[in-house]
Amino acid sequence: MKKKFVSIIWGYPKHFPNLVLEENCYLHILNIALRNDMDVYIIVKDAKKIIENDPNLDQRIKVLDYGNFFNFLFKIIKFSISNSIFYVNSYEWQSFLIPFMARRTIFMAHTQPKRKTRAKQIFQNFIYMFFTAIRLNNDTEKDFLIKEKINPKKLFVIPLVVSDNIFKLTNTQINNRKDLVYFGNVTLVKNLSTILKAFSIVKENHKQIRLNIIGHIYDHGFYDQIQEMNLADNIKIHGFIHHGKKLSDLLNENLVFVNSSISEGQCVAVYDAALCGCVLCLPNIMSFVGVFKDKALFHDVIDYNKLAKNINYYLDNIEIAYKHSRSCIEMIKEDFSKEIIEKKMEELLKKI
């Protein structure tokens, strides 16, 4: 009898069917489970049709919708009786019920494990004690949880895959690059306000510079900020662009990738931009500092003056920008390739 692998997904973004498979954090792990001869299921609410219409969904995967909380509990108990492996994909209160109802569980939060308050941290630490395994994005997260007294044997650093067959360096003339780019959805947690304030400062000395915005705009106050700060002539909003050559070429036109998120998981968009030769100005949060170290420039989340200073440093020091860019590309190809990550995931599944 085959083992069962059950993925719990609370929401499936509408743009996910446009991603390449290996960068789809929900579907990629399911294909690995299929290759390891498992029966694979997805339990989801209100997104069954979106998932089933995803061209990357293997038709052997069964998508199960649940209409209410009690139906959800019934499905969990049913699969738990057959000793299934549960893969929990998001930081929701429902996720924290799973380890008390199943014996084999993997948790992947897609956000850094440091909580905003001590009370929330203690609660999370308590729940983490009952998961069989916790998948993390980097060693900094692992070190943090070890200090929080989480059993190191439960912690597995297995980041998401970065697609270096899609995103690649094609514009090798770094002197021809001059503009900035933000790639990702525009939401409150992404904190574009700090980026706009920093850009306004940078524009004082670089009058012709442009900030490119790639992604869906969900924070509609973003448009108001652009107008209030008189930045409309220097900002190009591209909207969402499907993963492929067009997106890779656009990233290759820019010099500096900017991010100032309040909280992040791995944020694959940062890695995609780096593979396309962009240098990185990032917030000094756990998701980035321990990975990019001396290969990027960092600022406090809301410190727009420091962000502006870092952007100007790259604009005025092309040799350093070139060095950091090549170092990032080398590191990502070495540590985040499809082959390496899939091997680590297969090893984890065998241990659970």
pLDDT for residue 179: 96
107 beta partners: 88, 134
> Which long-range CB contacts under 8 A does 307-312 form with residues at least 24 apart?
307/194, 307/195, 307/198, 307/258, 307/260, 307/281, 308/197, 308/198, 308/199, 308/201, 308/202, 310/281, 311/180, 311/198, 311/199, 311/202, 311/256, 311/258, 311/281, 312/202, 312/205, 312/206
More confident residue, 69 or 85: 85
More confident residue, 107 or 67: 107
Residue with tokens 């919708």: 65
- Give per-residue pLDDT as tens, 18-48: 888 888 889 999 999 999 999 999 998 888 8
Global model pTM greater than 0.95 = no
pLDDT for residue 90: 75
Lowest mean pLDDT among 12-21, 124-133, 310-319: 12-21
pLDDT for residue 310: 98
Going by pLDDT thresholds of 50, 70 and 90, the confidence category of residue 169 is very high
In the chain, what are the domains?
Answer: 3-161+337-351 (3.40.50.2000), 174-335 (3.40.50.2000)
Question: Is 92's pLDDT higher than 80?
Answer: no
Q: What is the mean pLDDT of the chain?
A: 93
43 beta partners: 8, 64
Question: Is 284's pLDDT higher than 90?
Answer: yes
Lowest mean pLDDT among 66-70, 132-136, 236-240: 66-70
- Give per-residue pLDDT as tens, 106-162: 999 878 888 889 999 999 999 999 999 999 999 999 999 999 999 999 999 999 999
Dihedral sign of CA atoms 126, 129, 130, 134 in order: positive
Question: Is 233's pLDDT higher than 90?
Answer: yes
pLDDT for residue 195: 97
Question: Is 317's pLDDT higher than 80?
Answer: yes
Q: What is the average per-residue pLDDT within 242-263?
A: 94
What is the C-alpha to C-alpha distance for residues 252 and 233, in angstroms, rounded to an integer? 22
